[in-house]
Chain A
Amino acid sequence: MNKKWLATPYCIWSVAFIIIPLFMLIYYGLTDRTGAFTLSNFTAISSPEHLKALVLSLALSFACTVICLLLAYPLAMILVSFHASKTSFVVLLVILPMWMNFLLRTLAMQTLLEKNGVLNGILTFLHLPTLDIINTPGAIILGMVYNFLPFMILPIYNVLSKIDINVINAARDLGANSFQTFYKIILPLSVPGIISGITMVFVPALTTFAISTILGGSKILLIGNVIEQEFTTASNWNLGSGLSLVLMLFILVSIFLTSVFDRDGEGTVL
């Protein structure tokens, strides 16, 4: 039975919305406004302002990924140790914010963190010094962690919950204390989940421009903001495409680096 024709709509979809746009991106990236071939759109990344935006993006998304990992792993372990009924409730709490639009959530975060926002209102009420956190890299990281944490928790929770309890018991039985059991057995077995969590957090964090626009004001430019501005206000599609391709290269390298640690290749999105 040949049912390959059932794939036709998906082929049309991917040609129209993935392959053609990708080629357009490459075309624009390799040409200037007159249509002549050039590499200047790529080398533009080395200009100080672009480089600064890229380095800041890498630094912030790295910090966000590390914080997400440190927060998510213990929570995932706690979730696994719960009874099923409790677990589904806590997992629901983790997923619930994801059902709301992410721009709305980030705008809500802005309202919380503003100079005269909810957080400072509470601090003033308690006669504590106010925090000047909005429009700082800290606010952006907070926004990223808030938005992307579930993407770290769920894959880690998934692999941890699949580890046979008797494998852990066996390690204990063979003389390992809880710490040895963790770093010799549980941690290595959960690497695929960590890898896929890292990929799912690092990539969107690296490319975001909405979070940095809303929580960073216009003062902090990430590479995402630079690209967005090239396409919109500067309407220089060629430079925007070139920078996008450079960013894509960084993403591919980061995915490759993480997958090197994942021998079984179970966890990665690639």
Chain B
Amino acid sequence: MSNKLIDLQHITKSYGGNMVLDDLNLYIRENEFLTLLGPSGCGKTTTLRIIGGFDRPDEGRIIFGGEDITRLAPNKRQLNTVFQKYALFTNMTIAENIAFGLKIKGKTKSYIDDKIKYALKLVNLEGYGNRMPDSLSGGQQQRIAIARAIVNEPKVLLLDEPLGALDLKLRQDMQYELIRLKNELGITFIYVTHDQEEALTMSDTIVVMNQGYIQQIGTPEDIYNEPENAFVADFIGDSNIIPATMLQDELVEILGIKFACVDKGFGTNTPVDVVIRPEDVVLLSPEQSSLQGVVTHLIFKGVHYEMEVEANGFEWLVHSTSMFPVGTKVGICVDPYNIQIMNKPASEDEEAVGINE
């Protein structure tokens, strides 16, 4: 997992004066499942298209296995793409679709036949070779699109929101299928999605993007538990983002109440933002805490109750398995290691820029 397979250096891209990517730097290691995650228009698909060769960056270089491939045509790159809406060739059968890349490379007929069989088995669609793409369901077409890409034994598989068009249940099944495929094939996956749950489930590394900038790179646990700025905290899961003051190391004042925390190095009396996940907010009886509030909303969500608690002028979002009816007075308590401290952005612009790489 150590060496850089793909290295994007200072990538800049704009469409008609609209800056989509600004000085993006990112590397992808061998055998990694890397996810580009962000809202639409954040530049994640453009990044993928630049790696695939369908778009040229205005500036910057793409290094693939030590070689500069910035100006290389897509058909010369050792990677394959699974497109958002499958993009199967409707004028060919499933088998012909899968054989397409191999025929172009001039492989023998017996090799191609073996590969078709192997690929169909890998995606659990044996016996579908003679059917036409239109006769398959969305999930089946998507698996054929994956089969068509992987028979070429690419070093890297690019996936552009491949599950976006599928329904929830199928999407969850396909997530496990993709993880299984990646483990079986041992190739690098670069995956684009706007679905944070999908990203958390499958990735080794998540790259959170917004407005053409990388906001944070890390493992799913890092991204969820230690978001580096308010955008990441807000985009990944629900969160309470509260303005606060860092009084000294390991002590923060939130809404006028002092809380112990585990963060250091923010100086004294520094304005900060704190992130507290709704499941980390513990509700007690009022006398057990110095921060008291009143439950204003209550919704049953299946696994847990979702409540809103008004306390010291802030609406706290709380997930809890125990239920407190609307109007109940409660005390709010948070464990020190569940309080994540973030520097306040110095300006509106920096909020988008996020971390400085």
- Report which A residues bind B (CB closer than 8 A): 164, 166-167, 169-177, 180, 184-185, 188-189
**A174 contacts across to B, CB distance below 8 A:** 75, 80, 100-101, 104, 148-149, 152
What separation, in Å, do the CA atoms of A180 and B105 have in the docked complex?
12
- A sample of 13 inter-chain contacts (CB < 8 A) reads A166-B87, A167-B87, A167-B89, A169-B74, A169-B83, A170-B89, A170-B148, A172-B74, A172-B75, A173-B74, A173-B80, A175-B152, A180-B104
13 A-B pairs besides A173-B53, A173-B74, A189-B89 with CB distance below 8 A are A164-B85, A167-B88, A169-B83, A170-B88, A170-B148, A171-B89, A172-B75, A174-B104, A174-B152, A175-B104, A176-B104, A180-B104, A185-B91
Contact with A along B54-91 (1 / 0, CB 8 A): 10000000000000000001110000110111011111
Q: Is the CB of A169 within 8 A of B54?
A: yes
Contact A188 B80 (CB under 8 A): no
A170:B83 contact, CB within 8 angstroms: yes
Interface centre among B75, B80, B101, B149 (most CB of A within 10 A): B75
Residues of B in contact, count (CB < 8 Å): 23
Interface of B is mostly: loop
The one of B52, B85, B88, B105 that contacts A173, using a Cβ cutoff of 8 Å: B52
A124 to B207, CA, bound (A): 71
With a cutoff of 8 Å between Cβ atoms, the chain B residues found around residue A176 in the complex are 75, 100, 104
Contacts of B100 in A (CB 8 A): 171, 174, 176, 184
Once A175-B101, A175-B152 are accepted as A-B contacts, the answer to whether A166 and B74 lie under 8 Å apart by CB is no
B75 x A173 contact (CB < 8 A): yes
Nearest chain B residue, comparing its CB with the CB of A174 = B101
Nearest Cβ on chain A to B276's Cβ, whole angstroms: 42
Report the tally of A-B residue pairs with Cβ distances under 8 A: 63
Residues of chain A within 8 A (CB-CB) of B89 are 167, 170-171, 185, 189
Evaluate contact between A188 and B91: CB separation under 8 angstroms. yes
Contacts of A173 in B (CB 8 A): 52-54, 74-75, 80-81, 149
Residues of A within 8 A of B84 (CB): 166
Are B75 and A164 closer than 8 Å at their CB atoms?
no
Which residue of chain A is the closest to B100 with respect to CB atoms? A174
B105 is contacted by which of A172, A175, A189 (Cβ under 8 Å)?
A175
Tell me if A170 and B104 are in contact (CB < 8 A).
no
Measured CA separation A176–B84 after assembly (Å)? 20
Min CB distance, B84 to chain A, in Å?
Answer: 7
Residues on the B chain within 8 Å of A188, using CB = 91
Docked CA distance A170–B86 (Å): 9
B91 CB contacts on chain A under 8 angstroms: 185, 188-189
Interface residues of B in 174-231 (CB under 8 A from A): none
Distance in Å: Cβ of B101 to nearest Cβ of chain A: 4
Query: Which residue in chain B gives the minimum CB-CB distance to A83?
Result: B16
| Residues of A contacting B87 in the complex (Cβ-Cβ under 8 angstroms) | 164, 166-167, 169-170
* Nearest CB in chain B to that of A168: its residue: B87
Known A180-B104, A185-B91, A189-B91: A175·B83 in contact at CB below 8 Å: no
- What chain B residues lie within 8 Å of A167 (beta carbons)? 87-90
